[in-house]
Structure 1
Amino acid sequence: MPTIASKPSGAKRGRPGHDQDSVLSIAVQVFNKHGYDATSMGTLADNLGISKSAIYHHVPSKGDLLDKALDEALIPLEALGEDPRATMGTAAERLEFVLRSTIRVLVERQPYVTLLLRLRGNTEIERRALERRRAVDRRLADLVVGAQQEGSLRADIDPRTTTRLMFGTINSLVEWYRPDGPSTPQQVEDNAIAMMLDGLRA
Protein backbone atom coordinates (compact mmCIF):
# COMPACT_ATOMS: atom_id res chain seq x y z
CA MET A 1 0.00 0.00 0.00
CA PRO A 2 1.46 3.39 -0.92
CA THR A 3 2.64 5.53 1.97
CA ILE A 4 3.07 9.26 2.26
CA ALA A 5 6.83 9.09 2.53
CA SER A 6 9.46 6.39 2.64
CA LYS A 7 10.45 5.31 6.12
CA PRO A 8 13.61 3.65 7.40
CA SER A 9 13.07 0.06 8.40
CA GLY A 10 11.60 -0.15 11.90
CA ALA A 11 10.95 3.59 12.13
CA LYS A 12 7.82 5.69 11.83
CA ARG A 13 7.88 9.30 10.77
CA GLY A 14 5.54 11.71 12.55
CA ARG A 15 4.04 12.33 15.93
CA PRO A 16 3.19 9.50 18.34
CA GLY A 17 -0.25 8.01 17.77
CA HIS A 18 -0.24 8.34 13.99
CA ASP A 19 1.62 6.75 11.13
CA GLN A 20 1.31 7.57 7.45
CA ASP A 21 -1.46 5.07 6.81
CA SER A 22 -3.65 6.33 9.66
CA VAL A 23 -3.16 9.95 8.63
CA LEU A 24 -4.18 9.07 5.08
CA SER A 25 -7.19 7.08 6.21
CA ILE A 26 -8.51 9.88 8.41
CA ALA A 27 -7.82 12.49 5.73
CA VAL A 28 -9.89 10.55 3.19
CA GLN A 29 -12.79 10.36 5.63
CA VAL A 30 -12.64 14.13 6.12
CA PHE A 31 -12.34 14.82 2.37
CA ASN A 32 -15.39 12.66 1.69
CA LYS A 33 -17.39 14.33 4.44
CA HIS A 34 -16.61 17.98 3.71
CA GLY A 35 -15.24 17.89 0.16
CA TYR A 36 -11.58 18.28 -0.72
CA ASP A 37 -11.80 21.98 -1.59
CA ALA A 38 -13.62 22.83 1.64
CA THR A 39 -11.19 20.91 3.86
CA SER A 40 -8.40 22.97 5.38
CA MET A 41 -5.23 21.71 7.00
CA GLY A 42 -6.69 22.99 10.26
CA THR A 43 -9.74 20.76 9.81
CA LEU A 44 -7.48 17.79 9.14
CA ALA A 45 -5.41 18.57 12.22
CA ASP A 46 -8.56 18.77 14.36
CA ASN A 47 -9.73 15.37 13.16
CA LEU A 48 -6.28 13.91 13.78
CA GLY A 49 -6.20 15.38 17.26
CA ILE A 50 -2.98 17.29 16.67
CA SER A 51 -2.06 20.93 16.17
CA LYS A 52 -2.09 22.51 12.74
CA SER A 53 1.69 22.95 12.81
CA ALA A 54 2.21 19.34 13.92
CA ILE A 55 0.42 17.96 10.87
CA TYR A 56 3.39 18.99 8.74
CA HIS A 57 5.46 16.42 10.57
CA HIS A 58 3.24 13.84 8.86
CA VAL A 59 2.60 15.31 5.42
CA PRO A 60 3.99 18.24 3.42
CA SER A 61 0.67 19.42 1.97
CA LYS A 62 -3.02 18.72 1.51
CA GLY A 63 -2.34 18.04 -2.15
CA ASP A 64 0.15 15.34 -1.26
CA LEU A 65 -2.52 13.62 0.82
CA LEU A 66 -4.97 13.80 -2.08
CA ASP A 67 -2.43 12.39 -4.51
CA LYS A 68 -1.63 9.44 -2.27
CA ALA A 69 -5.30 8.79 -1.54
CA LEU A 70 -6.18 8.71 -5.23
CA ASP A 71 -3.34 6.27 -5.86
CA GLU A 72 -5.01 3.93 -3.36
CA ALA A 73 -7.97 3.71 -5.75
CA LEU A 74 -6.28 4.06 -9.12
CA ILE A 75 -3.26 1.77 -8.79
CA PRO A 76 -5.31 -1.41 -8.20
CA LEU A 77 -7.77 -0.42 -10.95
CA GLU A 78 -4.92 0.17 -13.39
CA ALA A 79 -3.29 -3.12 -12.38
CA LEU A 80 -6.33 -5.03 -13.62
CA GLY A 81 -5.29 -4.30 -17.19
CA GLU A 82 -1.97 -6.08 -16.61
CA ASP A 83 -3.52 -9.22 -15.15
CA PRO A 84 -3.29 -12.18 -17.58
CA ARG A 85 -7.02 -12.83 -17.06
CA ALA A 86 -7.70 -9.39 -18.56
CA THR A 87 -5.64 -10.13 -21.67
CA MET A 88 -6.31 -13.83 -22.40
CA GLY A 89 -9.45 -15.71 -23.34
CA THR A 90 -12.57 -14.45 -25.05
CA ALA A 91 -13.58 -10.80 -24.77
CA ALA A 92 -16.62 -11.88 -22.74
CA GLU A 93 -14.42 -13.76 -20.26
CA ARG A 94 -12.08 -10.80 -19.96
CA LEU A 95 -15.01 -8.42 -19.53
CA GLU A 96 -16.47 -10.46 -16.69
CA PHE A 97 -13.08 -10.69 -14.98
CA VAL A 98 -12.59 -6.90 -15.17
CA LEU A 99 -16.12 -6.17 -13.96
CA ARG A 100 -15.80 -8.55 -11.00
CA SER A 101 -12.36 -7.25 -10.11
CA THR A 102 -13.49 -3.63 -10.34
CA ILE A 103 -16.32 -4.35 -7.91
CA ARG A 104 -13.84 -5.98 -5.51
CA VAL A 105 -11.55 -2.95 -5.63
CA LEU A 106 -14.48 -0.66 -4.90
CA VAL A 107 -15.66 -2.77 -1.96
CA GLU A 108 -12.17 -3.15 -0.49
CA ARG A 109 -11.16 0.50 -0.99
CA GLN A 110 -14.55 2.16 -0.82
CA PRO A 111 -13.48 5.45 0.85
CA TYR A 112 -10.68 5.97 -1.69
CA VAL A 113 -12.87 5.15 -4.71
CA THR A 114 -15.57 7.43 -3.31
CA LEU A 115 -13.05 10.27 -3.25
CA LEU A 116 -12.01 9.49 -6.84
CA LEU A 117 -15.60 9.51 -8.08
CA ARG A 118 -16.28 12.88 -6.47
CA LEU A 119 -13.39 14.74 -8.08
CA ARG A 120 -14.24 17.98 -9.84
CA GLY A 121 -10.99 18.50 -11.69
CA ASN A 122 -10.19 21.79 -9.94
CA THR A 123 -6.49 21.07 -9.46
CA GLU A 124 -3.72 19.53 -11.53
CA ILE A 125 -3.68 16.52 -9.19
CA GLU A 126 -7.39 15.97 -9.78
CA ARG A 127 -7.07 16.38 -13.54
CA ARG A 128 -4.28 13.82 -13.71
CA ALA A 129 -6.36 11.38 -11.67
CA LEU A 130 -9.40 11.92 -13.89
CA GLU A 131 -7.36 11.17 -17.00
CA ARG A 132 -6.09 7.97 -15.41
CA ARG A 133 -9.67 7.04 -14.56
CA ARG A 134 -10.77 7.70 -18.15
CA ALA A 135 -8.03 5.34 -19.38
CA VAL A 136 -9.42 2.61 -17.11
CA ASP A 137 -12.91 3.32 -18.43
CA ARG A 138 -11.76 3.09 -22.04
CA ARG A 139 -10.37 -0.40 -21.47
CA LEU A 140 -13.74 -1.58 -20.22
CA ALA A 141 -15.51 0.05 -23.17
CA ASP A 142 -13.13 -1.74 -25.57
CA LEU A 143 -13.99 -5.09 -23.96
CA VAL A 144 -17.72 -4.45 -24.43
CA VAL A 145 -17.15 -3.75 -28.12
CA GLY A 146 -14.94 -6.83 -28.43
CA ALA A 147 -17.55 -9.06 -26.79
CA GLN A 148 -20.19 -7.76 -29.19
CA GLN A 149 -17.96 -8.32 -32.20
CA GLU A 150 -17.21 -11.91 -31.21
CA GLY A 151 -20.93 -12.59 -30.76
CA SER A 152 -20.86 -13.07 -26.97
CA LEU A 153 -23.00 -9.99 -26.22
CA ARG A 154 -26.04 -8.67 -27.99
CA ALA A 155 -25.10 -6.36 -30.83
CA ASP A 156 -28.41 -4.46 -30.92
CA ILE A 157 -27.52 -2.34 -27.86
CA ASP A 158 -25.22 0.63 -28.30
CA PRO A 159 -21.87 -0.23 -26.64
CA ARG A 160 -21.45 3.32 -25.30
CA THR A 161 -24.81 3.08 -23.55
CA THR A 162 -23.95 -0.37 -22.23
CA THR A 163 -20.64 0.84 -20.85
CA ARG A 164 -22.19 3.88 -19.15
CA LEU A 165 -24.85 1.71 -17.52
CA MET A 166 -22.17 -0.68 -16.26
CA PHE A 167 -20.18 2.20 -14.80
CA GLY A 168 -23.33 3.60 -13.21
CA THR A 169 -24.17 0.28 -11.58
CA ILE A 170 -20.68 -0.29 -10.20
CA ASN A 171 -20.08 3.29 -9.09
CA SER A 172 -23.41 3.43 -7.25
CA LEU A 173 -21.98 0.99 -4.71
CA VAL A 174 -20.09 3.82 -3.03
CA GLU A 175 -23.42 5.40 -2.10
CA TRP A 176 -25.21 2.42 -0.59
CA TYR A 177 -22.90 -0.53 0.08
CA ARG A 178 -21.92 -0.99 3.73
CA PRO A 179 -19.48 -3.68 4.93
CA ASP A 180 -21.74 -4.37 7.92
CA GLY A 181 -24.87 -4.57 5.78
CA PRO A 182 -26.94 -7.67 4.92
CA SER A 183 -25.07 -8.49 1.67
CA THR A 184 -21.60 -10.02 1.59
CA PRO A 185 -19.07 -8.71 -0.95
CA GLN A 186 -19.44 -11.96 -2.93
CA GLN A 187 -23.23 -11.59 -3.06
CA VAL A 188 -22.91 -8.00 -4.26
CA GLU A 189 -20.44 -9.07 -6.92
CA ASP A 190 -22.56 -12.01 -8.15
CA ASN A 191 -25.79 -9.98 -8.20
CA ALA A 192 -24.17 -7.10 -10.08
CA ILE A 193 -22.66 -9.42 -12.69
CA ALA A 194 -25.97 -11.24 -13.17
CA MET A 195 -27.81 -7.95 -13.62
CA MET A 196 -25.24 -6.41 -15.96
CA LEU A 197 -24.41 -9.42 -18.17
CA ASP A 198 -27.28 -11.89 -18.25
CA GLY A 199 -29.54 -9.57 -20.21
CA LEU A 200 -26.73 -8.77 -22.64
CA ARG A 201 -25.60 -12.26 -23.56
CA ALA A 202 -26.25 -13.17 -27.18
Structure 2
Amino acid sequence: MPTAPKAPSAPRRGRPGYDQESVLTVAVAVFNRHGYDATSMGMLAEELGVSKSAIYHHVPSKGDLLRLALDEALIPLEAIGEDQRATTGTSIQRLEFMLRSTIRVLLERQPSVTLLLRLRGNTEIERQALERRRAVDRRVTHLMITAQQDGKVRADVEPRTTTRLMFGMINSLVEWYRPDGPATPQEVEENAIAMIVDGLRARD
Protein backbone atom coordinates (compact mmCIF):
# COMPACT_ATOMS: atom_id res chain seq x y z
CA MET A 1 0.00 0.00 0.00
CA PRO A 2 1.56 3.30 -1.05
CA THR A 3 2.37 5.79 1.66
CA ALA A 4 0.53 9.10 1.68
CA PRO A 5 2.55 12.03 0.33
CA LYS A 6 4.08 14.25 2.97
CA ALA A 7 2.52 17.64 3.51
CA PRO A 8 4.74 20.50 2.31
CA SER A 9 6.93 21.77 5.08
CA ALA A 10 6.52 25.31 6.36
CA PRO A 11 9.15 27.90 5.32
CA ARG A 12 12.19 27.77 7.55
CA ARG A 13 12.06 30.62 10.02
CA GLY A 14 15.07 29.89 12.14
CA ARG A 15 15.27 31.48 15.57
CA PRO A 16 12.16 32.70 17.43
CA GLY A 17 10.23 35.46 15.69
CA TYR A 18 12.68 36.21 12.87
CA ASP A 19 13.28 35.11 9.33
CA GLN A 20 15.96 36.41 7.00
CA GLU A 21 13.75 39.20 5.66
CA SER A 22 12.95 40.59 9.10
CA VAL A 23 16.61 40.35 10.16
CA LEU A 24 17.52 42.24 7.00
CA THR A 25 14.97 44.98 7.70
CA VAL A 26 16.40 45.57 11.16
CA ALA A 27 19.98 45.44 9.85
CA VAL A 28 19.29 48.14 7.25
CA ALA A 29 17.81 50.40 9.91
CA VAL A 30 20.84 49.91 12.17
CA PHE A 31 23.32 50.39 9.30
CA ASN A 32 21.60 53.65 8.39
CA ARG A 33 21.53 54.84 11.99
CA HIS A 34 25.14 54.09 12.91
CA GLY A 35 26.90 53.54 9.58
CA TYR A 36 27.88 50.15 8.22
CA ASP A 37 31.49 50.30 9.44
CA ALA A 38 30.46 51.25 12.99
CA THR A 39 27.82 48.52 13.25
CA SER A 40 28.86 45.24 14.85
CA MET A 41 27.03 41.95 14.83
CA GLY A 42 26.69 42.42 18.57
CA MET A 43 24.79 45.67 18.01
CA LEU A 44 22.50 43.91 15.54
CA ALA A 45 21.91 41.07 17.98
CA GLU A 46 21.04 43.55 20.73
CA GLU A 47 18.61 45.39 18.44
CA LEU A 48 16.94 42.11 17.49
CA GLY A 49 16.96 40.79 21.04
CA VAL A 50 18.73 37.58 20.02
CA SER A 51 22.21 36.11 20.28
CA LYS A 52 24.82 36.65 17.59
CA SER A 53 24.66 32.94 16.75
CA ALA A 54 20.95 33.40 15.95
CA ILE A 55 21.86 36.00 13.30
CA TYR A 56 24.48 33.66 11.82
CA HIS A 57 21.68 31.13 11.42
CA HIS A 58 20.27 33.42 8.71
CA VAL A 59 23.41 34.94 7.12
CA PRO A 60 27.09 33.97 7.25
CA SER A 61 28.45 37.46 7.94
CA LYS A 62 27.80 41.18 8.26
CA GLY A 63 29.04 41.54 4.69
CA ASP A 64 26.38 39.15 3.45
CA LEU A 65 23.75 41.23 5.22
CA LEU A 66 25.07 44.33 3.44
CA ARG A 67 25.05 42.59 0.05
CA LEU A 68 21.45 41.44 0.50
CA ALA A 69 20.40 44.90 1.69
CA LEU A 70 22.00 46.61 -1.29
CA ASP A 71 20.38 44.17 -3.70
CA GLU A 72 17.03 45.37 -2.33
CA ALA A 73 17.83 48.72 -3.95
CA LEU A 74 20.03 47.77 -6.89
CA ILE A 75 18.01 44.94 -8.44
CA PRO A 76 14.87 47.07 -9.03
CA LEU A 77 17.00 50.02 -10.20
CA GLU A 78 18.79 47.81 -12.71
CA ALA A 79 15.49 46.30 -13.86
CA ILE A 80 14.27 49.72 -15.01
CA GLY A 81 16.71 49.73 -17.92
CA GLU A 82 15.59 46.23 -18.96
CA ASP A 83 11.91 47.19 -19.13
CA GLN A 84 10.45 47.45 -22.64
CA ARG A 85 9.34 51.01 -21.91
CA ALA A 86 12.98 52.01 -21.46
CA THR A 87 13.81 50.87 -24.98
CA THR A 88 10.72 51.82 -27.02
CA GLY A 89 9.06 55.14 -27.81
CA THR A 90 10.72 58.51 -28.29
CA SER A 91 13.89 59.29 -26.39
CA ILE A 92 12.12 61.80 -24.14
CA GLN A 93 9.41 59.24 -23.35
CA ARG A 94 12.06 56.68 -22.43
CA LEU A 95 13.86 59.24 -20.29
CA GLU A 96 10.65 60.14 -18.46
CA PHE A 97 9.91 56.46 -17.84
CA MET A 98 13.35 55.86 -16.35
CA LEU A 99 13.12 58.91 -14.11
CA ARG A 100 9.61 58.07 -12.92
CA SER A 101 10.62 54.51 -12.21
CA THR A 102 13.72 55.62 -10.30
CA ILE A 103 11.64 57.92 -8.12
CA ARG A 104 9.23 55.06 -7.38
CA VAL A 105 12.05 52.73 -6.33
CA LEU A 106 13.49 55.40 -4.04
CA LEU A 107 10.12 55.96 -2.38
CA GLU A 108 9.20 52.28 -2.12
CA ARG A 109 12.62 51.11 -0.91
CA GLN A 110 13.77 54.18 0.93
CA PRO A 111 15.80 52.46 3.68
CA SER A 112 17.85 50.25 1.33
CA VAL A 113 18.36 53.10 -1.17
CA THR A 114 19.50 55.33 1.69
CA LEU A 115 22.09 52.69 2.57
CA LEU A 116 23.23 52.54 -1.06
CA LEU A 117 23.62 56.31 -1.34
CA ARG A 118 25.70 56.48 1.85
CA LEU A 119 28.28 53.90 0.82
CA ARG A 120 31.92 54.90 1.14
CA GLY A 121 33.47 52.13 -0.90
CA ASN A 122 35.54 50.74 1.98
CA THR A 123 34.91 47.08 1.13
CA GLU A 124 34.75 45.02 -2.05
CA ILE A 125 30.99 44.56 -1.59
CA GLU A 126 30.57 48.34 -1.38
CA ARG A 127 32.78 48.97 -4.40
CA GLN A 128 30.84 46.47 -6.50
CA ALA A 129 27.57 48.09 -5.44
CA LEU A 130 28.88 51.56 -6.32
CA GLU A 131 29.90 50.36 -9.77
CA ARG A 132 26.43 48.89 -10.33
CA ARG A 133 24.92 52.21 -9.28
CA ARG A 134 27.21 54.10 -11.67
CA ALA A 135 26.14 51.76 -14.48
CA VAL A 136 22.51 52.78 -13.85
CA ASP A 137 23.53 56.45 -13.94
CA ARG A 138 25.39 55.94 -17.22
CA ARG A 139 22.28 54.52 -18.89
CA VAL A 140 20.39 57.69 -18.04
CA THR A 141 23.27 59.88 -19.23
CA HIS A 142 23.36 58.00 -22.54
CA LEU A 143 19.61 58.49 -22.92
CA MET A 144 20.00 62.20 -22.15
CA ILE A 145 22.59 62.47 -24.92
CA THR A 146 20.32 60.59 -27.33
CA ALA A 147 17.34 62.81 -26.49
CA GLN A 148 19.42 65.90 -27.05
CA GLN A 149 20.67 64.61 -30.40
CA ASP A 150 17.05 63.86 -31.35
CA GLY A 151 16.10 67.44 -30.61
CA LYS A 152 13.85 66.38 -27.70
CA VAL A 153 16.05 67.94 -24.99
CA ARG A 154 17.13 71.55 -25.16
CA ALA A 155 20.54 72.11 -26.69
CA ASP A 156 21.88 74.52 -24.06
CA VAL A 157 22.38 71.91 -21.30
CA GLU A 158 25.36 69.61 -20.86
CA PRO A 159 24.00 66.04 -20.61
CA ARG A 160 26.45 64.61 -18.05
CA THR A 161 26.21 67.59 -15.71
CA THR A 162 22.44 67.63 -16.09
CA THR A 163 22.22 63.93 -15.22
CA ARG A 164 24.18 64.55 -12.01
CA LEU A 165 21.86 67.43 -11.12
CA MET A 166 18.78 65.30 -11.81
CA PHE A 167 19.99 62.47 -9.62
CA GLY A 168 21.05 64.94 -6.95
CA MET A 169 17.46 66.14 -6.70
CA ILE A 170 15.92 62.68 -6.94
CA ASN A 171 18.34 61.13 -4.45
CA SER A 172 17.57 63.86 -1.92
CA LEU A 173 14.18 62.18 -1.44
CA VAL A 174 15.74 59.62 0.89
CA GLU A 175 16.73 62.42 3.28
CA TRP A 176 13.46 64.33 3.56
CA TYR A 177 10.53 62.27 2.28
CA ARG A 178 8.37 60.66 4.96
CA PRO A 179 5.50 58.24 4.14
CA ASP A 180 3.37 59.93 6.82
CA GLY A 181 4.17 63.43 5.54
CA PRO A 182 1.87 65.81 3.68
CA ALA A 183 2.90 64.75 0.15
CA THR A 184 1.79 61.45 -1.37
CA PRO A 185 4.23 59.39 -3.48
CA GLN A 186 2.20 60.29 -6.57
CA GLU A 187 2.45 64.02 -5.80
CA VAL A 188 6.20 63.77 -5.25
CA GLU A 189 6.61 61.90 -8.54
CA GLU A 190 4.52 64.35 -10.57
CA ASN A 191 6.23 67.40 -9.06
CA ALA A 192 9.68 66.00 -9.75
CA ILE A 193 8.82 65.06 -13.33
CA ALA A 194 7.28 68.47 -13.97
CA MET A 195 10.46 70.17 -12.82
CA ILE A 196 12.89 67.84 -14.59
CA VAL A 197 11.28 66.76 -17.84
CA ASP A 198 9.36 69.96 -18.57
CA GLY A 199 12.51 71.93 -17.81
CA LEU A 200 14.57 69.80 -20.21
CA ARG A 201 12.10 69.53 -23.03
CA ALA A 202 13.12 71.32 -26.22
CA ARG A 203 10.74 74.06 -27.30
CA ASP A 204 9.52 74.10 -30.88
Q: TM-score, normalised by structure 1?
A: 0.94
Partner of residue 86, structure 1:
86
Would you say the 8 A contact 1:148–1:155 is kept in 2?
yes
* TM superposition shift of 1:54: 2.3
Q: TM-score, normalised by structure 2?
A: 0.93
Partner of residue 42, structure 1:
42
Q: Distance in 1 between matches of 2:54 and 2:189?
A: 42
After superposition, the C-alpha distances for 1:20-64 in whole angstroms (9 at most, x for unaligned) are: 110000000000000000000000000011012322122210000
Partner of residue 192, structure 2:
192
* TM superposition shift of 1:126: 0.4
Count of residue pairs the alignment pairs up: 195
Partner of residue 5, structure 1:
none
Q: Distance in 2 between matches of 1:53 and 1:15?
A: 10
Aligned pairs for 1:32-181 within 5 A: 32-181=32-181
After superposition, the C-alpha distances for 1:128-187 in whole angstroms (9 at most, x for unaligned) are: 100100100000001111111111110111111110110101100000000010000000
Aligned pairs for 1:3-18 within 5 A: 10-18=10-18
Root mean square deviation of aligned Cα: 1.1
* TM superposition shift of 1:197: 1.6
Structure 1 stretch displaced more, 38-47 or 12-21: 12-21
* TM superposition shift of 1:112: 0.4
Would you say the 8 A contact 2:92–2:153 is kept in 1?
yes
Identity of aligned residues (%): 78
After superposition, the C-alpha distances for 1:72-96 in whole angstroms (9 at most, x for unaligned) are: 0000000011100000011100000
Q: Distance in 2 between matches of 1:163 and 1:115?
A: 21
Q: Distance in 1 between matches of 2:125 and 2:98?
A: 26
Partner of residue 3, structure 2:
none
Structure 1 residue ranges without an equivalent (≥5):
1-7
Secondary structure in structure 2 of the residue aligned to 1:53 = helix
Secondary structure in structure 2 of the residue aligned to 1:191 = helix
Would you say the 8 A contact 1:13–1:57 is kept in 2?
no
Partner of residue 23, structure 2:
23
Secondary structure in structure 2 of the residue aligned to 1:186 = helix
Structure 2 residue ranges without an equivalent (≥5):
1-7
Secondary structure in structure 2 of the residue aligned to 1:199 = helix
Which of the pair has more CA radius of gyration?
2
Aligned CA distance change for structure 1 residues 19 and 91 (closer, same or farther; 3 Å): same
* TM superposition shift of 1:9: 5.4
Q: Distance in 1 between matches of 2:161 and 2:59?
A: 42
Q: Distance in 1 between matches of 2:18 and 2:12?
A: 9
Aligned CA distance change for structure 1 residues 9 and 124 (closer, same or farther; 3 Å): farther
